[in-house]
Amino acid sequence: MTMAGTRADTAHPGIGQDGAPAPVPIADDVHWIGALDPQLRRFDLILRTANGTTYNAYAVRGRDGVAVVDTVKAEFAEPFFARLEQVARYDEIRVIVLNHLEPDHSGALPELMRRAPQARLIISKRAPAMLKALLKADDEEIRYETVDTGHEIDLGGRRLKFLHTPFLHWPDTQCTYLVEEQVLFSGDVFGCHHCDRRLFNDRVGDFRFAFEYYYAHIMRPFKAHVLDALRLIEPLPLKLIAPTHGPILRERPRRYVARYRELSGGAALEPMPVDSAPLRTLLIFYLSAYGSTARMAEAICAGAETVHSVRVSLYDLDGGESEPFVDLIEAADALALGSPTVNGDAVKPVWDLLSSLAVVNLRGKVGAAFGSYGWSGEAVPMIEDRLRGLKLRVPLPGLRLKLIPTDAELADCRDFGRRLARALVGDAASGSGNGQAARGVIDFAELG
């Protein structure tokens, strides 16, 4: 017990408890001035936080003044200012950098700007609209400067360089690099919700789960952007990564960068031998109480299979957990969902699956809906609307059949599968932007 219980006023604080707020040096002239939030059990509604989180903010001192990098959630302004005041006077603050504007890091900004009115506010080039919306202010009321990759601010012997890393996980996200100390202030990137006053990755409890969990829920939808950001981050000499949540990564920081690359890479296994023709993958999921929607699914599958270079898979949603299905969908090119209409709606496992897809990028994938119904048949159009809402392209009007499918209707299902698969292959062919063979002209009134 070297950290806790050494001061009378913090006798036996838990590992997550904030004692008397003191700044913590993390590099020469750099201090952690953040706040601990050990009581938090759910972050942004979507993340469970079994031991709370931290809001990490930092102060960097150069010969000509001080930079504050990120602030804390509004309720935690008090320990933040208490720590800041121990390392700098407000009139020494030359710049305030916000790596993204989410309220858990911008909460104390208005008060900080009041206390340090001379400070220049530095935000990313995509942040101005967000800043105005957040502060509910007009252009004239706030002064700020925007920066892009390559821009630099010299504090006198301490230079801050900026890396534009949009969408990790907000559109306005950037990282800030302290050249002389080789410290990366990475914002939420490489962060996690793990509250531990021992603060450094080589001192805190086991946070591996928290790191992976944070990536899976916050960064995973933006894998392509993660890879873009890694191209900027990987060439940097790195002594330490200072994220806005959880442990400061000073012991082998590159491991965490490498892990991000691993997690953002392609699927775990190549679906096919490398020498086969490029495949587009179509997943068909269905639920069926009496077997009608199941028979539709099988016929759609059979039809789609006849199209060369499309690989079709068929799954009963009732036979699996959502999570592995989400992994499959992330790697697939198209998704067809079948549900009967029950009480005027699609059935719950379909919505559960669809609402689990928020963690993957679905843009541009092809979607389709089908199902058997009794009299009103709401399920199919509702699923289609949801697919479009999730940014899938829905090339065919959904297929609905009344009760038990006839042979003729099953032939329609096979045709539906075939057309869906063709739309998918057509996509691949038109990838160059030249468009497919013209399909002629239709009238808007003919569209369902």
Ligand X SMILES: Cc1cc2nc3c(=O)[nH]c(=O)nc-3n(C[C@H](O)[C@H](O)[C@H](O)COP(=O)(O)O)c2cc1C
* DSSP character string of 88-115: --GGGEEEEE-S---HHHHTTHHHHHHH
Please pick, from the candidates 104, 196, 384, 427, the single residue that binds Fe ion as defined by CB under 5 A: 104
Please pick, from the candidates 2, 376, 432, 434, the single residue that binds ligand X as defined by CB under 6 A: 376
Of 27 and 127, which CB lies nearer to another protein in the complex structure? Answer: 127
Region binding Fe ion by CB under 5 A among candidate stretches 22-30, 97-105, 219-227, 437-445: 97-105
Secondary structure letter of residue 65 according to DSSP: E
Binding mask of the shown chain, residues 179 to 218, with x at each position contacting Fe ion by CB under 5 A: ---------x------------------------------
Residue type, 208: R
Of 273 and 433, which CB lies nearer to another protein in the complex structure? Answer: 433
* Token pair for 212: 């992976």
**Which partner, Fe ion, another protein, ligand X, none, binds residue 102 by CB below 5 to 8 Å per kind?**
Fe ion
**Which partner, ligand X, Fe ion, another protein, none, binds residue 54 by CB below 5 to 8 Å per kind?**
none
- 3-state SS class at 236: coil
**Which partner, another protein, Fe ion, ligand X, none, binds residue 290 by CB below 5 to 8 Å per kind?**
ligand X
Region binding ligand X by CB under 6 A among candidate stretches 77-85, 144-152, 236-244, 369-377: 369-377
**Shortest reach from residue 417's CB to ligand X, in Å:** 17
b vs e for 92-102, b when ≥16 Cβ sit within 10 Å of the residue's Cβ? ebbbbbbbbbb
Euclidean distance between CA atoms 115 and 62, whole angstroms: 20
In contact, 260 and 190? CB cutoff 8 Å: yes
What contacts 139, CB < 8 A, 6 or more positions away?
132
What contacts 396, CB < 8 A, 6 or more positions away?
368, 416, 419, 420, 423
Q: Which of 167, 356, 359 is nearest to 263 (CA)?
A: 359
**Which partner, Fe ion, another protein, ligand X, none, binds residue 433 by CB below 5 to 8 Å per kind?**
another protein
**Which partner, ligand X, another protein, Fe ion, none, binds residue 203 by CB below 5 to 8 Å per kind?**
none
Q: What is the residue whose two structure tokens read 């800043």? A: 131
Of 184 and 369, which CB lies nearer to ligand X in the complex structure? Answer: 369
**Which partner, another protein, Fe ion, ligand X, none, binds residue 277 by CB below 5 to 8 Å per kind?**
none
Of 166 and 377, which CB lies nearer to ligand X in the complex structure? Answer: 377
Region binding ligand X by CB under 6 A among candidate stretches 121-129, 191-199, 287-295, 418-426: 287-295
Report the chain's terminal Cα–Cα distance, integer Å.
70
Secondary structure letter of residue 306 according to DSSP: T
How many CB atoms are located within 10 Å of the residue 448 CB?
A: 5
Euclidean distance between CA atoms 173 and 232, whole angstroms: 13
Q: What is the residue whose two structure tokens read 């609209």? A: 129
Binding mask of the shown chain, residues 315 to 354, with x at each position contacting Fe ion by CB under 5 A: ----------------------------------------
Euclidean distance between CA atoms 372 and 71, whole angstroms: 54
Please pick, from the candidates 79, 166, 367, 377, the single residue that binds ligand X as defined by CB under 6 A: 377
Euclidean distance between CA atoms 361 and 397, whole angstroms: 23
**Shortest reach from residue 343's CB to ligand X, in Å:** 5
In contact, 192 and 242? CB cutoff 8 Å: no
**Shortest reach from residue 399's CB to Fe ion, in Å:** 41
**Shortest reach from residue 417's CB to another protein, in Å:** 16
How many CB atoms are located within 10 Å of the residue 32 CB?
A: 21
Cα 146 to the center of its chain, rounded Å:
23
Of 148 and 352, which CB lies nearer to another protein in the complex structure? Answer: 148
Told to check if 291 binds ligand X by CB under 6 A, we report: yes
Euclidean distance between CA atoms 216 and 427, whole angstroms: 29
Of 289 and 358, which CB lies nearer to ligand X in the complex structure? Answer: 289
Residue type, 377: G
Please pick, from the candidates 129, 403, 411, 429, the single residue that binds ligand X as defined by CB under 6 A: 403
Can you point out the beta strands (E) in 302-375?
A: 310-316, 334-338, 366-373
**Which partner, another protein, Fe ion, ligand X, none, binds residue 403 by CB below 5 to 8 Å per kind?**
ligand X
Euclidean distance between CA atoms 64 and 445, whole angstroms: 68
**Shortest reach from residue 123's CB to another protein, in Å:** 13
Q: Which chain residues interact with another protein by CB under 8 A? A: 126, 128-129, 363-364, 388, 391-396, 423, 426-427, 430, 433, 435-444, 447-448
Please pick, from the candidates 23, 34, 65, 340, the single residue that binds ligand X as defined by CB under 6 A: 340
Please pick, from the candidates 344, 364, 388, 430, the single residue that binds ligand X as defined by CB under 6 A: 344
Told to check if 285 binds ligand X by CB under 6 A, we report: no
**Which partner, ligand X, Fe ion, another protein, none, binds residue 188 by CB below 5 to 8 Å per kind?**
Fe ion
Q: Which residues of this chain interact with ligand X, rule CB under 6 A?
A: 288-293, 340-344, 372-377, 403
